[in-house]
């Protein structure tokens, strides 16, 4: 059992972080037994089939660096960088190696100076108002017809922007309201919706579905305009995320809500780890934090029935949902509420699809190979649609013309 299990999903066993650290053993990097049980879960090992691309070899490199204060060679650095940070090696490890925490610490200490472009990207992610100002320009660019000639010119490649540009989709330009009243006569409570940075602009469909369902089952929904990015992209690239974290904790704690709800599991995994940061409001925040799938499942009123359908849906389980939040079963249980819907899991759900946060941009060749594997398993299901609770995976897999929706979008369409 980890500290996450003690606090995630409105569960509070009354332990503080200090209590936890003193009661539970936290393995060090040199505690890896090298048993190899993690190998079959590691996407980079599945691609390269070499020891250097295994979790245990990465842990050995981390041990050398963190515990023995030895420098890391260029080759070792390359293999560390190839890690998708999917954390699939954690739940299968008999030694309970906290690979993610060890990796993050190593990343932090090894952080390279940022390029101008990377600095701009991190700055934009952190500054909501400027991001918003950029969206009409993006929409204009997508409409203008200059996309094709610009791609052909090779200019985007020169600027290292080709991968990011290929993923662009139409952004939402309208601003979400700060408050959505309950649609029921009696209000059950007040919840806050975490919109994230990219989902706010590019996955409005899911956010609107969340608002529709939450208000339909009797909740008032608050969308605080001062919320910021969860900090995941900064954290996983060795950049400081403390200000973003502190801001979110203050903004949501000030509202004294019944729950703080997220729709993208990539954001949710980061938000659920706020308690590991030194912030006095973090435990209160984490106690209220919950995935929209869990919230709807736990609070769905018996009297609300959904329309039947004869669709078949394949479920993609994002790594952050399987390995950090560990709540992927909520999706299957929630979809059972739609009469007639056939739901099938993907055969290789235990392996990352290649998206890996910003990995799809930094390691496009590896990411594409993993995506091809995932697409083959999706097509093998012969499903009408794919569902995933993480916008990053959806964006990455969407390239191939699949119909991909968040589970709650499927539910909202079936509301009577």
Binding region for ligand SF4 (CB under 6 A): 32-38, 41-44, 55-56, 58-59, 83-89, 93, 95, 97, 99
Give the whole-angstrom CA distance, residue 71 versus residue 197.
36
Q: Nearer Cβ to ligand SF4, position 85 or 394? A: 85
Q: Nearer Cβ to ligand SF4, position 43 or 231? A: 43
Helix (H, G, I), strand (E, B) or coil at 294: helix
CB of 57 to ligand SF4, least distance (A): 9
CB of 220 to ligand SF4, least distance (A): 39
Q: Which of the 8 DSSP states describes residue 33?
A: -
Closest to 249 in 3D by CA, of 287, 219, 222? 287
Output the CA torsion 296→301→305→308 (10° steps). 30
Determine contact, residues 209/408, Cβ cutoff 8 Å: yes
CB of 5 to ligand SF4, least distance (A): 18
The C-alpha angle 386, 136, 203, rounded to 5 degrees, equals 20
Give the whole-angstrom CA distance, residue 119 versus residue 128.
15
CB of 54 to ligand SF4, least distance (A): 7
Buried/exposed code over 373-391 (b: 16+ C-beta within 10 A; e: otherwise):
bbbebbeebebeebbbbbb
CB of 395 to ligand SF4, least distance (A): 20
Q: Nearer Cβ to ligand SF4, position 32 or 306? A: 32
CB of 360 to ligand SF4, least distance (A): 14
* Residue with tokens 């691609």, as numbered in its chain: 47
Give the whole-angstrom CA distance, residue 369 versus residue 47.
8
Residue 187 tokens, joined: 């209000």
Q: Nearer Cβ to ligand SF4, position 46 or 276? A: 46
Q: Nearer Cβ to ligand SF4, position 41 or 387? A: 41
Q: Nearer Cβ to ligand SF4, position 41 or 321? A: 41
Q: Nearer Cβ to ligand SF4, position 55 or 171? A: 55
Give the whole-angstrom CA distance, residue 360 versus residue 368.
8
CB of 323 to ligand SF4, least distance (A): 8
């Amino acid at each position: 059992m980890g500290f996450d299990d003690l606090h995630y999903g409105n569960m509070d066993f009354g332990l503080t972080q200090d209590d936890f650290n003193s009661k539970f053993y936290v393995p060090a990097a040199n505690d890896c037994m090298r048993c190899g049980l993690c190998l079959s879960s590691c996407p980079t090992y599945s691609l390269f089939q070499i020891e250097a691309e295994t979790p245990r070899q990465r842990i050995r490199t981390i041990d050398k660096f963190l515990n023995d204060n030895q420098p890391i060679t260029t080759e070792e650095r390359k293999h560390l960088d190839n890690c998708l940070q999917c954390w699939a090696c954690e739940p299968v490890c008999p030694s309970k190696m906290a690979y993610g925490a060890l990796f993050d610490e190593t990343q932090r200490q090894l952080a390279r100076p940022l390029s101008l472009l990377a600095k701009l990207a991190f700055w934009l992610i952190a500054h909501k108002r400027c991001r918003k100002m950029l969206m009409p320009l993006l929409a204009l660019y997508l409409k203008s017809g200059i996309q094709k000639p610009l791609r052909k010119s090779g200019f985007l490649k020169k600027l290292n922007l080709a991968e990011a540009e290929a993923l662009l989709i139409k952004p939402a330009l309208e601003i979400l309201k700060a408050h959505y009243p309950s649609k029921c006569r009696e209000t059950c409570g007040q919840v806050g919706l975490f919109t994230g940075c990219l989902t706010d602009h590019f996955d409005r469909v899911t956010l609107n579905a969340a608002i529709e369902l939450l208000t339909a089952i009797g909740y008032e929904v608050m969308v605080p305009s001062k919320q910021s990015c969860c900090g995941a992209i900064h954290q996983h690239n060795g950049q400081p995320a403390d200000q973003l974290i502190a801001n979110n904790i203050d903004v949501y704690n000030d509202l004294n809500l019944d729950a703080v709800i997220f729709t993208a599991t990539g954001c949710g995994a980061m938000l659920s780890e706020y308690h590991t940061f030194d912030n006095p409001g973090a435990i209160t925040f984490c106690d209220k934090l919950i995935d929209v799938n869990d919230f709807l499942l736990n609070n769905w009123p018996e009297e609300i029935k959904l329309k039947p359908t004869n669709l078949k849906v394949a479920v993609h389980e994002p790594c952050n949902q399987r390995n950090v939040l560990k709540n992927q079963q909520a999706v299957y249980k929630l979809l059972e509420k739609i009469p007639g819907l056939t739901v099938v899991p993907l055969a290789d759900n235990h392996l990352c699809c290649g998206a890996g946060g910003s990995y799809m941009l930094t390691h496009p060749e590896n990411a594409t190979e993993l995506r091809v594997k995932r697409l083959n398993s999706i097509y093998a299901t012969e499903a009408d649609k794919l569902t995933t609770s993480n916008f990053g995976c959806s964006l990455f897999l969407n390239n191939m013309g699949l119909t991909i929706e968040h589970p709650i979008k499927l539910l909202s369409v079936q509301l009577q």
